[in-house]
Chains A and B, each alone.
Chain A
Amino acid sequence: MTYLLGILQTIGVHTLLGLSAYLLLLTGQLSLAQVGFFAIGAYVSGILTVIFSWNIFAALALGSLMAGFFAFLVGFPALRVKGLMLVVATISFSEIVRLFFFNLSWRVNVNGVEVGPDSTQGFREIRYFAANGWEQIHIVGLIWFVVMVVMLALWWLDQVRAGAVLRAVGTDELAAQSSGINLTMVKVAAMTGGGVIAGIGGGLFAHSTTYVDHHTFVILLATFAVSYPIIGGLRSVIGTLLAVIFIQGFIIEGLRFMGDYRNLIFGLLIILVMNMRPQGLLDGHLVADIRKLLSKLTKGGKADA
């Protein structure tokens, strides 16, 4: 049971990471900065609950806002470049963040115990949940509540004008610009939103594992973050969730007996998806087919009644 809940935790947190990259990918921008925002969310909210004894919700909120704020700042210079150069710029950002926390030593005596980030030794005392009597099932519940809220918010974006604007920029910047869309504003807004989502994911991650250090926030995690929406497809937020379940649940956990060979499979999977389903697992046609099926089913149900 604990093992299963643990996997649910991981899937939930990785879904948030994936969704933060998803939002930016809608505008056609591939960013590896998501892990940097994730790290900011993790450390800031951790510091707030551990050193300043904040309530978890307030700490998560401020952690994700801080991540969003840095995403906003980074967005302006980073989004002036495109493609490969954006990848390089965002990798640099993530590395700067990682190395900052690698060097951050902020030990404080709280109730007779020395706590706080301890540079290379990591940040070990993020025990808010245990100290306040949360059980694992509650933590999983909180994580999935946040995942659902974020997914609903992103789904809602597609029901209103904002989603169309994001996708227009992703489809063709020149055409979007000719229709009067302010490219910089849209991209920076997507970057900021992605930062907020990654930041809250980082906060939840830090508190659910009770321990973070700089090894957690390497670029590999950022490549996972972008591969979820790419494998899942950009048609729907569900695609990202499915991809996380598939990769974390099946490839990483299900094939654990294969040890390091799993990485080979992961690489193979990316190549297969690019060749066989270039629009992702859940592409436009599949979404349309599912809609048709659903409407048939509901209509059939009415006819019976």
Chain B
Amino acid sequence: MLSVNNLVTSYGLIKALKGVSLEAKKGAVTCILGPNGAGKTTLMFTLAGILAPDTGTVSLLDQNLTGLGAPKILRKGLALVPENRLVFPDLSVYENLLAGAFTQSRAMAAQVSDDIDKMYDRFPILKARHDQPAGNLSGGEQQMLALARALMSRPSILLMDEPSVGLSPLIVDEIFAIIKQLNEDGMSILLVEQNATKALQVADYFYLLDQGKVTFSGTPDQLKDDDIIKRAYLGGG
């Protein structure tokens, strides 16, 4: 559903993405693995419209997204959960969720409050903390809030930039269980991760990004069989 073709993005003279092509299928979890500095976040920012690509195209469900700004891309159905969560710390949990519904029109008010109830069902901890400032939440709770906030825009595909970063192993398990559940409920997800072992539990298809290029793509089984990847990402050898 999301197809990326030969994407090049640069910061000044430095090319961070050197022609990335990939495909995220409907109803699947597609995972992008890569070391630090591979261009993962640059790719996420370019897809979400925060950075503009030099060349290449991005399209979602046959709509061309290339070069549209972030607000338009979100309205076309692509939502990003940024790395390090970035919730609004002074706003309450409830207000953060409302902020996520920013793109919904006033006429949708009933639907928005319905959506918030759904988020509370999915993430009971958010309901318990609905009137607390988001800055007081733990890292894992903030990650759930950032995820719920992105879902409030009713996206057709969800981009998640390293949801496990800076969280304890137990919380990471919980986050991945949520990702799996979301996917089983029909959400298409494009996931950026460094934690390959965890990603293997949820992802249907992998891309390996290194120095701005896709160096490997394949199914989880193909990934596990690849010696180089095994050594570099999965430990042991």
Binding site for B on A (CB under 8 A): 164-165, 167-168, 171-172, 174-175, 177-182, 284
Contacts and interface: CB of A to CB of B under 8 A. Distances in A.
Interface in B84-112: 86-91, 95, 98-100, 102-103
B153 A172 contact: no
Contacts of B99: 164, 168, 179
Given A177-B71, A182-B71, 6 more contacts: A172-B88, A174-B82, A178-B74, A179-B100, A179-B103, A180-B153
A182 B149 CA distance: 17
A contact face: mostly helix, strand, loop, or mixed: helix
B70 A180 contact: yes
A161 to B, nearest CB: 8
Given A181-B71, A182-B71, A171 B89 contact: yes
Given A168-B99, A174-B82, A175-B82, A180 B90 contact: no
Given A164-B95, A164-B99, A178 B88 contact: no
Interface centre among B79, B87, B88, B98 (most CB of A within 10 A): B88
B70 A177 contact: yes
Nearest to B74: A180
B88 A180 contact: no
A182 B49 CA distance: 11
Nearest to B103: A180
A273 B205 CA distance: 54
B102 A180 contact: yes
20 contacts: A165-B102, A168-B99, A171-B91, A172-B86, A174-B50, A174-B82, A174-B86, A175-B86, A177-B71, A178-B50, A178-B70, A178-B80, A178-B81, A178-B86, A179-B74, A179-B103, A179-B149, A180-B153, A181-B71, A182-B71
Interface centre among A164, A174, A179 (most CB of B within 10 A): A179
Interface size class of B (residues with CB under 8 A): 20 to 34
Contacts of B95: 164
B48 A178 contact: yes
B150 interface: yes
A181 B88 contact: no
A177 B50 contact: yes
B75 interface: yes
B35 interface: no
Interface in B130-160: 149-150, 153
B69 A179 contact: no
A175 B153 CA distance: 13
Contacts of B48: 177-178
Interface centre among B81, B90, B98, B103 (most CB of A within 10 A): B90
B142 to A, nearest CB: 11
Contacts of A181: 71, 102
A179 B98 CA distance: 10
